[in-house]
Amino acid sequence: MKKDSRIRRILENKENWLSLINIILVLVCALVGFFAPDDKISGKAISLALGLLALEFFMLVVVHLESIQGALRQITNSTAKGVQITEWEDNINQLIGDTTNELFFSGNNMSRLPLHHEKLLSVPDNIKVRLLVANLDDSTVLQNVTTTFGKPVVYDSLNHLKCFTPKPNIEIRTVNFPMTTYIAARDTEAAFGEIQVGFHHYMSSGYDVPNINLTRTDTGWYGFYIKQIELLWEQGIPWPPEQS
């Protein structure tokens, strides 16, 4: 059965069929050249056989090159992006300035967002802003975040985010578990979208953590984090509670 399946796979491949036909023609030409009584016919048959062999070699080279290029594309799409450390404030300023449709920020504390208070509040009303944070108003969640990542920077509650609540285009949600990454994204559905992902490690609650900057050219990674953004957002509970 295994032998039959191997033969079936070989016959289903178009390149294998072309190679088989080529080999048969080469053999026919070689036999004609060998047994032909006329030297001219013999020479032409041998020349044709050599030509077919050259064509077969060319086809093999093309097929192998395409296989190598496909493997390289797969490696490029699946390999991690270059990890770097950048200034979080600079990245946020650029994201806010470049957006045309939507902004998304998530993290445990988002303690530095008030530094961008004026810039976020000046975002036009047609640009949607979504903020997702761990619910530090809940003592259990706060304890879990503190135990895992260390004392949250600057704030032990979410009061610092109330400055954003008057804006109708800014929506805040909370989740009842520690966030293992912070995500800053803009215009994720657009061709020029951008996602920045940083990783929270054990006892590391600062922003000087390695991060990955993604665009749509990073097909696998970009698509994965778009799904993560929406999955996390669906888990979120509107904040402040009176908005729910």
pLDDT at site 10: 46
Quick one: which H or E segment has residue 239?
Answer: strand 237-239
Cα–Cα distances in angstroms (integers) from residue 168 to residues 44, 54, 171, 202, in the given order: 83, 70, 7, 36
> Can you list the positions of beta strands (E) in 23-119?
102-107
CA-wise closest residue to 200 among 154, 147, 162: 147
184 touches 91 (CB < 8 A): yes
Give 8-50 pLDDT, tens digit per residue. 554 455 555 566 666 666 666 666 655 556 655 556 656 666 6
Residues of the chain below pLDDT 70? 1-90, 112, 114-115, 151-156, 203-209, 242-244
pLDDT at site 52: 63
pLDDT at site 48: 63
pLDDT at site 35: 59
Give 204-220 pLDDT, tens digit per residue. 655 566 778 888 888 78
pLDDT at site 241: 78
Provide the token pair at 183.
């995500």
The pTM of this model reads: 0.63
pLDDT at site 234: 96
